[in-house]
Structure 1
């Protein structure tokens, strides 16, 4: 019984028709066979996903609830930890492209995900997005163009995040600022006297209380190998979250959280303080505000461990690593890129030649 509990997120389901591994079909609630096309529905929990009470998990006795062991693969090159729901003897690290061997897997505890946002776009579409993006890059090395033509460089990855919910209450003291204008005569840069409107502020004391529900504060749960998933694509529609089922992971890589729940909670409190400050300023009103003191309290705190989708393409050029990320929900793309020295050199050289010819012709 215990063995079944430990292994349930790692079970791979075989196709009833041909025996091949069933994999999640992005944008659906089905797992499908890539060989014969057989599909099976993923059973969605009608009760939705569960919000877990925070403080029991922050204590030693609560850590093992809703948790189990999974097999992890550690990349010796870049340090990333990945859980793989793929039926391969070997594969490559999604971050740096170095080979990983399943025989090197080790067991590690994790808090089970409460929810997952399944991939909404498939690998072929992500590959086309990446390919078209590379085509639009100026001075990209030819090797990068070749990498963009090979789908094996693009991998689907689930990133771990914490979400925190809480009832927020805050009392504050501060000041409400109201603008008024005075007219005065000043000398401008040309030495002439001109009329100028000068804005000033009258300050009035303010105090009060604010309260409300803080829903789904999203906190990164892994360092994501120096945290390089670009912020510009790190936006997902959390309304698409589904109760966790391992079927959604089939055929993809999952990164385990490396930022402990305790640290994630501390970060979420900083975010909540920023939200409270905004609410206080809105309550103060006027044209501008000062919050001189604020006492914030959070109650009924809950959390979830969730998984969010990205596609990653890893590429090495001149000994340096580059990553390209595509949001697996909305298809937005971002990443670092190398430049070809020779392409830049010959472009500059050609420009200088053209300029030289124009100068010579103008002298005739």
Structure 2
């Protein structure tokens, strides 16, 4: 591990300690009777002796005067017991950002040359919750089986009406019910409000098999936070993620050609959690007086963010598409087209 300010390198011994999961229901009962108070944290810099404040949820930052790393105590009831260290350096993150900007469709032509947000790139250890859960879901739905019938239609060929037989698809729906089971492992949900929820939760996947035991020395030189989205609230987001997968399981269980899900009820059992810190590079750039935020997964290099669009390029595409459709319509009018009259045999 190397400090970005003094370039001092310090090795951290590898630990074979097992990363633990914690009981979800026990934690909720504990949190009911243990509420932390948010207080502003005042820190005295060990190097320049300046005094400065951190926000209640911040646990690591740099002195605003001399940039010396500063780490403070946790105040939340649940503290992180593991983390993923930074794999992507700041220089590599800058390169990722430039490639991303250059690859954006319908972006303004001068955007790549103009943006300077990478100069403000900041490394964060942001809190996440991970959840394991065994689920069982009862459902009611309908199975659709496609069959075909022959119908008689009237068509116009070169200005003359003709009667033709055509095959038409129909669906036969049958009520069905059943249950499916699935075990989930490490469903990850961001627990910070520093970055928008949509950006933070789009940085997946996180390779949680590479988690290491928490050591505050990894935080040195980076911003780090405690969770601001609680264990119970984050689990609601986790259930939404799990339900999308469960719906796919139900559709497979229903079978047929098409499926309808009328109702589903899921129980979540043996649920466990981890409070972890994940490494993220984040910054913003300004374009035409508006700020755009982006973040980079510092383990995989995946980048997600907001971006501007070129109205000129989009307008040109719309006009071009309309011209193509207009040409196709003209060709169809001069050839063969179907009337809406339909007669069933």
| 1:326 aligned counterpart, secondary structure | strand
Q: Specify which of 40, 50, 54 is matched with residue 11 of structure 2.
A: 40
Q: CA deviation at 1:51?
A: 0.8
Q: TM-score scaled by structure 1?
A: 0.66
What is the rounded CA distance, in whole Å, between the counterparts of 1:209 and 1:233 in structure 2? 32
Residue of structure 1 in register with 2:322 after alignment: none
1:154 deviation in Å?
1.0
Structure-2 residue corresponding to 1:175? 142
Looking at structure 1, the residues matched to 154 and 85 of structure 2 have their Cα atoms a distance apart, in angstroms, of 64
Give 1:83's aligned residue.
59
Judging changes above 3 Å, is the alpha-carbon distance between structure 1 residues 294 and 249 closer, same or farther for their aligned structure 2 residues?
same
Q: Which residue is 1:286 aligned to?
A: 256
Tell me the alpha carbon deviations over residues 310-343 of structure 1, each in whole angstroms, 9 at most, x when there is no partner.
21123345653332322212223343346899xx
Contact 2:145–2:171 (8 Å) recurs in 1: yes
Q: CA deviation at 1:88?
A: 5.5
Whether the aligned pair in 1 keeps the contact of 2:124 and 2:222 (CA below 8 Å) is yes
Alignment partners' CA distance in 2, 1:323 and 1:253 = 17
Q: Structure 1 residue 307 and structure 2 residue 274: aligned?
A: no
C-alpha distance in 1 between matches for 2:215 and 2:301: 23
| Residues in 1 aligned to 2:34 and 2:122: alpha-carbon distance in whole angstroms | 31
Runs of 4+ in 1 over 6 A off after TM superposition: none
1:323 paired with 2:290, answer: no
- CA pair 313-210 structure 1, distance change in 2 beyond 3 A: same
The aligned residue for residue 247 of structure 1 is 217
Work out the CA distance in 2 between the residues paired with 1:312 and 1:153. 8
CA distance in 2, matches of 1:320, 1:128: 23
Indicate conservation of the 8 Å contact 1:161/1:221, yes or no: yes
| Aligned with residue 163 of structure 1, among 90, 106, 130 | 130
1:217 alignment partner, one of 187, 204, 214: 187
Match of 1:236 among 198, 206, 227: 206
1:171 Cα deviation after fit: 2.5
Q: Which of 87, 92, 110 does residue 125 from structure 1 map onto?
A: 92
Q: 1:335 to 1:296 in 2, by over 3 A?
A: closer
- TM (norm. structure 2) is 0.69
Q: Structure 2: 5+ residue runs without aligned partners? A: 42-52, 317-345
Distance 1:189 1:247 in 2: 79
Give the equivalent residue in structure 1 for 2:305: 335
**Matched residue SS, 2:295:** strand
1:183-202 superposed matches below 5 A: 183-188=150-155, 190=157, 191-202=161-172
Tell me which residue corresponds to 1:73.
Answer: 54
CA RMSD of aligned residues (A): 3.9
Deviation, structure 1 residue 303: 0.9
Cα separation, 2, equivalents of 1:153 and 1:301: 40
User: 1:73 Cα deviation (Å)?
Assistant: 2.5
The 1:117–1:61 alpha-carbon spacing in structure 2 relative to 1, beyond 3 Å, is: closer
Q: Is the 8 A contact 2:124 2:281 kept in 1?
A: yes
Moved more, 322-331 or 265-274: 265-274
In structure 2, how many angstroms separate the alpha carbons of the residues matched to 1:231 and 1:292? 28
Instruction: Supply the distance in 2 between the matched residues of 1:338 and 1:207 (Cα, whole angstroms).
Output: 47
1:195/1:239 CA distance change after superposition, 3 Å: farther
Q: Are residues 113 and 239 of structure 1, via their aligned partners in 2, closer, same or farther at CA, if it must alter by over 3 Å? A: same
